[in-house]
A = this chain, B = another copy of it.
Amino acid sequence: MNIYRYPGNPIIEPKDIPPYLEDYEVIGVFNAGVMRYGDEILLLLRIAERPVHHDPKYSLSPFYDMANGKMGVVRLEKGMPGYDFSDARGIGTPDGSLLTSISYLRIARSKDGIHFKIDDRPALFPENRYEIYGIEDCRITQIDDTYYINYSAVSNLGITTCLASTKDFAYMQREGVIFQPDSKNIAIFPQKINGKYYALHRPSSSSFGKPSMWIAESPDLLCWGNHRYLMGCRDGCWDETRIGASCVPIKLEQGWLELYHGADRNNRYCLGAALLDIDQPWRVIARSTLPLMEPETAYEKDGFFGNVIFSCGALYEQGKVRIYYGAADTSMCYAEVDMAEIMRGMKECEGLSGK
* Chain A interfacial positions (CB closer than 8 Å to B): 66, 90, 92, 95-97, 128-130, 133, 154-160, 176-183, 201, 203-210, 212, 214, 216-220, 222-229, 352, 355
Residues of B within 8 A of A130 (CB): 229
CB-contact partner of A208 in B158, B180, B210, B220, under 8 A = B158
A203 vs chain B, min Cβ distance (A): 4
Q: Is the CB of B212 within 8 A of A157?
A: yes
Q: What separation, in Å, do the CA atoms of A225 and B175 have in the docked complex?
A: 10
How many copies the complex holds: the figure is: 2
Nearest B residue (CB) for A222:
B225
With A156-B208, A158-B209, A206-B206 as known contacts, state yes or no: A178 contacts B225, CB within 8 Å. yes
Q: What separation, in Å, do the CA atoms of A176 and B227 have in the docked complex?
A: 8
Q: Is the CB of B183 within 8 A of A180?
A: yes
Q: Is the CB of B180 within 8 A of A96?
A: no
Nearest B residue (CB) for A205:
B158
Residues of B within 8 A of A226 (CB): 176-178, 222-223
A62 vs chain B, min Cβ distance (A): 15
Residues of B within 8 A of A177 (CB): 225-228
Q: Is the CB of A207 within 8 A of B96?
A: yes
Q: Which 8 A-B pairs have the closest CB atoms?
A: A158-B205, A223-B225, A223-B223, A180-B203, A177-B227, A181-B205, A222-B225, A97-B207
Q: Is the CB of B206 within 8 A of A355?
A: no
Residues of B within 8 A of A229 (CB): 129-130, 157
Q: What separation, in Å, do the CA atoms of A154 and B216 have in the docked complex?
A: 18
A65 vs chain B, min Cβ distance (A): 13
Extra A-B contacts (8), CB below 8 Å, given A156-B208, A157-B209, A180-B201:
A92-B207, A128-B355, A129-B355, A158-B208, A176-B226, A181-B203, A219-B223, A223-B226
With A180-B183, A224-B225 as known contacts, state yes or no: A157 contacts B208, CB within 8 Å. yes
Max chain B C-beta neighbours (<10 A), residue from A92, A160, A227: A227
A78 vs chain B, min Cβ distance (A): 19
CB-defined A-B contacts under 8 Å, sample of 11 = A66-B352, A155-B208, A155-B209, A178-B227, A179-B180, A180-B180, A180-B183, A180-B203, A181-B203, A182-B208, A222-B226
Residues of B within 8 A of A216 (CB): 180, 223
